[in-house]
Chains A and B, each alone.
Chain A
Amino acid sequence: MRMGAGGHYAYRTNPTPLAGWCLFALFALVAGGAWAEEPNERVTVADPYLELHTGPGRGYPIFDIAQRGESVEILRRHTDWFKVRTARRKEGWVSRAQMEATLTEAGEKKSFRDVLFEDYLARRMEFGFSFGRLRHDPLLSAYAGYRLHPNFVGELTIAQSTGDFSTTSLYYVSLVSQPFPDSRWSPFFSLGAGRFTNAPKATLVTPSGSPAETHGGLANAAIGLRYYVSRQFFLRVEARRHVALINYNSADHYNELSAGAAFFF
């Protein structure tokens, strides 16, 4: 609240980056509001009835139903749950399994299930993180991926390893090949290139004249395995070999072993 008010004031006197961000936030809110005014989707209940839960989860109690043939309005989705409003103006959450059997208003032949399935197939972005070891030090990595082709994913990874003597940061892009993208256990191969930075711990006594930080190029290759837990969520393990190019005549090798989780969105 205070930030918004301050930004507004700053805009009137002299434009600052803060004012810019506040304007952007305001614009986003207005745009969001305009988008929200679109009419909600309506579907016709095809199951004997839809069960309305008080919250988006199977544990929340059922408090009302919508009968077969009734038209319901879909207000929003949270994970695999849909908030609907019935003809009697009751609002509640319905599971995906029940929604799948309803019919869309646009085409009676096309069930909601097809629509949802198409939505899943269209998801191409993925995001994940993992934890492992780089040589002997712990390594934490996060990555964002984009599916370029059924068999190929382009990935951008940021990783940091904080050891007893130094902290190493890695940034690299990689191309991942999945020979069997449809299988539940899906192996992959990856080739990457990027940069690394290594900074020794401040508390260590370093010999005078030695550089505070080491920078260099990085190339790596990996093999790994993905296990799809659900339609959106998967686990992955990988073994990666990094080659750090410190200068023209010295390179160093590091092995990484890590495991993590990722999801599509």
Chain B
Amino acid sequence: MANTTILGMLAAASAIVPAVAAAQSPQPGPEPVIPAQVDRRDVRVPKIKANDVEIGAFAGLLSVQSFGTKPSAGLRLGYHVTEDYFIEGTYGRSKVSDQAYRRLGIPIFSSEEIPLTYYNLSIGVNLFPGEVFVGKDFAMTSAVYLVGGVGNVKFNNEGHTAFNFGIGIRVLPKDWLSVRFEFRDHMFSSDLLGKNELTHNFEVTLGLAAYF
């Protein structure tokens, strides 16, 4: 109650003070000849849909040196920084098999087929822009790209730091849809066969992705 009274008094005081000040000013200033009529320009910042993020899935075959070739599948999340460069994270799953060693009576893994997972972060460079023509009336933009990066390949409860390098072609049937065919080498050192050596593990994939 006391608060509202004080607020009321303050409001009244603030109303009186300018009135007193106006009464005390000796002369009013010269009136403007042309009264300014400025309308505030309503500047609206344009909203433009951007689609620099690429989210997709892929499937293919992964050949792990000494441990067979098995189907692989995974997810990709990419960001296109400029028309030339993109950055991409990949997560993939596959299997490895020690069937060849089992046949000789020296099993390496706890069971014949065990899962393999990998992830990597890579940088890609779009090299040759072009178009793929389908029939007489339909053309799709395309690009050949190189991709390389680092990551981790895990199987048999053991992680390996892996470098990857690959080449692929990307075709865009729609502005928001891409189809990719890619060939990649996952390189890592493994001591599973008694000696630590660099292994080359090739993967060929077909992927489908959408731009957001």
Contacts and interface: CB of A to CB of B under 8 A. Distances in A.
Nearest to A35: B49
A144 interface: no
Give the interface residue-count category, chain A.
Answer: 35 or more
Nearest to A201: B158
Contacts, number: 119
A104 B83 contact: no
B152 A106 contact: no
Interface in B111-138: 121, 123, 126, 128-131
A131 interface: yes
A94 B211 CA distance: 19
B49, B50, B131, B156 — which one has the most chain A CB atoms within 10 A of its CB?
B49
A164 B159 CA distance: 10
A213 interface: no
A56 B158 contact: no
B43 interface: yes
Interface in A102-121: 104, 106-107, 110, 112, 115, 118-119
A263 B79 contact: yes
A80 B83 contact: yes
Q: Tell me the dominant secondary structure on chain B's binding face.
A: strand
Contacts of A202: 156-158
B66 to A, nearest CB: 16
A70 interface: no
Nearest to B162: A162
Contact of A129 (B44, B80, B121): B121
Interface of B: 41-52, 79-85, 87, 89, 121, 123, 126, 128-131, 139, 141, 143, 150-152, 156-161, 172, 175, 191-192, 196, 211
